[in-house]
Amino acid sequence: MTIAASLPIAHRQGNLAPLCAAAATYLLLLVSGDGLLHDPDTLWQIKVGQWILDHRAVPWTDVYSLTRQGDVWLSTSWLSQVLFAATYSHWGWAGPVILAATAIAAAMGLLLALLQRHLTLPYALVFCLLAMTLATPHLLARPHVLALPVMVGWAGALMAAADRGRAPSFLLLPLMVLWANLHGGFVLGLALIGAIGLESLWRAAPARRLALTLKWVAFGLAALVASCCTPYGLDTLLGALRILSLGTSFAVIAEWRPADFSSFSPFAGALLALLGLALSRGLSLSPPRVLLILIATWMALAHIRSIETFGILVPLVLAQPLGTGIRPTASDAPRALWMVPPAPAALVIVMAVASATAALVAHHAFAFSATQTPVAAVDVLSERKGARIFNSYGFGGYLIVRDIKPFVDGRSELYGEKFLMDYFAAEDGRDVAGLLRMLDDNRIDATLLTADSPAAQILDHIRGWKRLYADAIAVIHVRDEQQATTPPK
């Protein structure tokens, strides 16, 4: 970034900066690549992707779980799963790490390019750093990161159209097709059409508003059709909406919990900085832009998973109003949306990044987080031929990889709100009777729970169950038929 900023020709600064930012982001993620492998969902995502490759089809029903076998389940991230599975089969864990790091880096570079249309490089970099910081806890080798550059490009292009008081080009529709096949978050992209479209109408002359409204409506309908260009067709929308219908169970799933302000966090700092910016600069935003910021803030407050959306969307909304105050002269007119960096310099950067990647992969073996993989415990269960297992939520993905049907796993939309609420109440020790009922009704012969699970502590004192194995990661309990049939003294 220092090199890019020192170039004497202004347009070259603008052209090289996004590529430099993308390269720096990629290398940073690659060096800390094991940090991208800290989510058990990555395991079953790869397993599903391999199933799709093997069967040349997408799943319509569940084939993995113990409790939902045969129920309807659509993989709304099928393309991401295929990409992760293909890279994993060829390069081991280095494949998903490189794939995820590339997508995240592309998103950050693209965000910087979009912001530079209105902001000078230092201001644009600050916003990109903020977005990266807010997204860091959720930067994992999972489908949502592959869709991240698509989300940035889609939201940025819509805002660019609104800034000009125009309707977006239909050439953007392939982005929606790609997004809908990569991740179920494409529903956000559809919602943004209406929210950002209001800004375009606000800026347009009254005589143009009717015609412009019709263009935005036409684009919205076309985007809706484009989102159904997947192997599931119209059912793509139904599959994505099932995730949004989990209701109160969001509160017990870690990534869907509300934001916590009991201690200072980057998100709290971002909200305070946003408030300070508004107060110090006296920003006057149009009502549609205020609405966009309020919606993004509410989403981030309601679900920590949406904090990364806040970090990307808010800078795009603020860029044009801030740029007007920072660079009011005619010579600082917005740059073109797409800028190609100088070919020789770009080639040098790409080759340097490729060389660094090859060198690191040759000397470092990426490995999935050991705390998410109860290897030794599952080995014990396999030796005992355990088949009906009650497991902690985070162990479901690993059980799927080991071809053991989990009681529950990260596909929350498959299990539904009631099942998840009952399960977490039982596993957390808040409903002991419910726990025992689940074990009996599902004919569970063994449990695989985290070492600190309240349910594991409870089973230590429940007649008919005995602790078979324990380590720092997992605890196994099995039925003790002899104790169960022996009358208490």
User: Token pair for residue 22?
Assistant: 């993308």
157-171, 235-249, 322-336, 415-429: range with lowest mean pLDDT: 322-336
* Secondary structure (DSSP) of 324-357: HHH--SGGGPPPPSS-PPPHHHHHHHHHHHHHHH
Residue 485 has pLDDT above 60, yes or no: no
- Greater model confidence, 218 or 300: 218
User: Token pair for residue 164?
Assistant: 């000009």
Cα-based torsion angle of the residue sequence 420, 421, 423, 426 in order, rounded to the nearest 10 degrees:
170
Orientation angle between helical segments 173-182 and 148-163, nearest 10 degrees: 150
* Best CA proximity match to 340, nearest among 105, 11, 4, 111: 11
Under a CB-based contact definition with an 8 Å cutoff, are residues 23 and 349 in contact? yes
**Could you read off the pLDDT of 374-384 as tens digits, one per residue?**
999 999 998 88
- Greater model confidence, 397 or 240: 397
Alpha carbons 220 and 215: distance in angstroms, whole number: 9
Instruction: Please compute the mean of the pLDDT values over residues 403-429 and round it to a whole number.
Output: 90
Residue 475's SS3 state is strand
- Greater model confidence, 426 or 365: 426
Q: Cα–Cα distances in Å, from 181 out to 62, 185, 233, 383, 409? A: 19, 10, 11, 39, 22
Contacts of 200 (CB under 8 A, 6+ apart): 161, 162, 165, 166, 167, 212, 216
- Per-domain residue ranges of the chain: 2-37+93-354, 370-485
Amino acid at 138: H
* Secondary structure (DSSP) of 403-429: T---SS-S-HHHHHHHHHHHHHHHHTT
Alpha carbons 365 and 360: distance in angstroms, whole number: 9
pLDDT for the residue 99: 95
**Could you read off the pLDDT of 465-480 as tens digits, one per residue?**
999 999 999 999 999 8
pLDDT for the residue 338: 46
User: Token pair for residue 262?
Assistant: 């009991």
74-88, 91-105, 315-329: range with lowest mean pLDDT: 315-329
Contacts of 81 (CB under 8 A, 6+ apart): 45, 46, 48, 49, 52, 75, 143
User: Token pair for residue 381?
Assistant: 């269960």
Under a CB-based contact definition with an 8 Å cutoff, are residues 222 and 170 in contact? yes
pLDDT band at residue 3, thresholds of 50, 70 and 90? very low
pLDDT band at residue 250, thresholds of 50, 70 and 90? low
**Could you read off the pLDDT of 140-182 as tens digits, one per residue?**
999 999 999 999 999 999 999 998 888 999 999 999 999 999 9
pLDDT band at residue 47, thresholds of 50, 70 and 90? very high
Work out the end-to-end distance of the chain between its first and last CA atoms, rounded to an integer number of angstroms. Answer: 75
Strands 465-470 and 389-391: unpaired
Residue 220 has pLDDT above 70, yes or no: yes
